Each structure stands twice: as structure tokens, then as C-alpha cells.
Amino acid sequence: MYRTITTVTRKLAVAGYRVFDIPTGDLPSLASTCKLAFRFFKKYPDRTPLQNIKNGGEPYDPSLSVLYHLDNPGPEPTLRDLYDLNIAKAQVAAKMRQAWLKSGVDVIVAPAYQSCAPLHDTCGDNVYTVIWNVVDYPACVIPVRHADKTADAQNVRNVAYTPAYQPAKIEGVPCHVQIIGRRLKDEVLLQHAKVIEKILLGRIKVAPASITLADENATVLANCRFNNGVCSVTERSARAGPSKEIRGRSGS
């Protein structure tokens, strides 16, 4: 992912965006927010999603063991538990909103996973996506390049990856970039994503000065200036690389 994110930010910078970091301390912790999300998921006393799989006569996906205690439902949730979880969720959402307002971005560019597409049944924690479920921000994923064990070798760190990094098995597997927008701004996010995808595919060389959204009657719904903000990689992962933010062209 480091090579992919670096490639994406470089191409966007060449197209006219300004790239800079969002301080990690300004953002909610990805790991803590992921744990919070799964505390919500596990508070479902009947464990209906897992029960549906069991009732269907299918075995559990092995990767579920990373996220759930499959044989131990844990204690029955209480009303106090739910209250505390909602308070914690509100605090995460408030910090994310403040970080967004402080940085002035329109969208965030980040990994959706710590690596390229994982092998079947080997997915680990989804820290890079579940955070947006918690704060209720729209997101989408754009395929970008492919795994290349030769090109990626210089970015492999001496750490224990979960799941294990197996370069020979994932050779040629698609890589990606995740684009995240402001809460309740789904249409704006899609327009930004369309422009970003065209830049990454080489279909346009220079980013437009603004984005206009219109309904069937050509009524302007929103106008997002690219020169007032735009993308950032929110945090680094085992292979995702340093945080980056990309702002739009100035003076357009």
C-alpha cells in the first residue's frame, strides 16, 4: 500500500493538488475506534448474523475469528453498556469533525486495508473502513495498480503482519485507494471520486477548479472548491506509509 498511496498522492499533486499531512493526534485512533465498533457489534445478544450462517449449514469464514469470539458470546449486554458506547461514539464523531474543520479538507484519501486485496478467508481487522461507519461518513474505493513483489520489496517492514505477507501468492492482486467524504455529502464525494479516478487513469491531466452537482432540472445543489481542500491519508499502517493530505489548486 505504501507504493500505491505514494503513487496516488504524487499524481494528484502533479494535477494541481497540494499535499500535506494531517497530524495523527488530531484524529481519532483507528485501533481504538475499531474496537469500539466491534463492542457495538458484539452487544447484539442473539448474535443474529452468526446464527444465520450457522442455520444455513455453512462453516464460518476463518477470518471471522479475528473479529469475533465464535464460541463465546460474552456477558449479556446492559442498558448502561449501550449508554457508555453511545457516549464514546459521540466523542469519536466530535473529534473527527473538529479534525476535518481544522484541516479544511473536502475529502480524505486513505487505505481501505493495510495491503492489497487479501487472499480468501484471511482478512484481518478492518480499521481503515469501520471508522467511517462509526462516524457515519460516506466512502468509496477505487482500484489502483497491482501488487508487485519486486517493486514492493523495499517497503516491507520487519514486523509480524496479520494476515501474513505472502508476496508470491498475492502477485498481481489489485491494490486500491479509499476516498472519504463529509457526513451527508455522498453526492459530493462521488463527484470528487470521479475526478480523482480520471486523474489516476490519465484521462485528465489537471484537476478542475470546482465541482458542481446538479439535479435533473440543472439546479445547483453544491459547489465544492478544490482549491480549498481535498485529500489526506489519515494514518499509517504496516504498509500504508505516512499520512498525507492533498489540497486543490490555488488561485483558480
Q: Assess whether the previous peptide bond of 163 is cis (omega < 30° from 0).
A: yes
How far apart, in whole angstroms, are the C-alpha atoms of residue 92 and residue 152?
34
pLDDT value for 140: 94
197's grid cell: 479516478
pLDDT value for 23: 85
Q: Running along the chain, 252 residues long, what does each successive block of 10 average in pLDDT?
A: 86 81 87 91 78 86 76 80 94 94 87 84 84 95 89 82 82 90 91 90 72 36 30 35 40 32
pLDDT value for 209: 59
β-strand pairing of 244-247 with 231-233: antiparallel
What does pTM read for this prediction?
0.77
Using alpha carbons only, what angle is made at residue 116 by residues 39 and 108, rounded to the nearest 5 degrees? Answer: 65
Sign of CA dihedral 57, 58, 62, 63: negative
pLDDT value for 63: 78
pLDDT value for 135: 95
Instruction: Give the CA radius of gyration of the chain.
Output: 20
Q: Is 148 left (phi over 0), alpha (psi -120 to 50) or beta?
A: beta
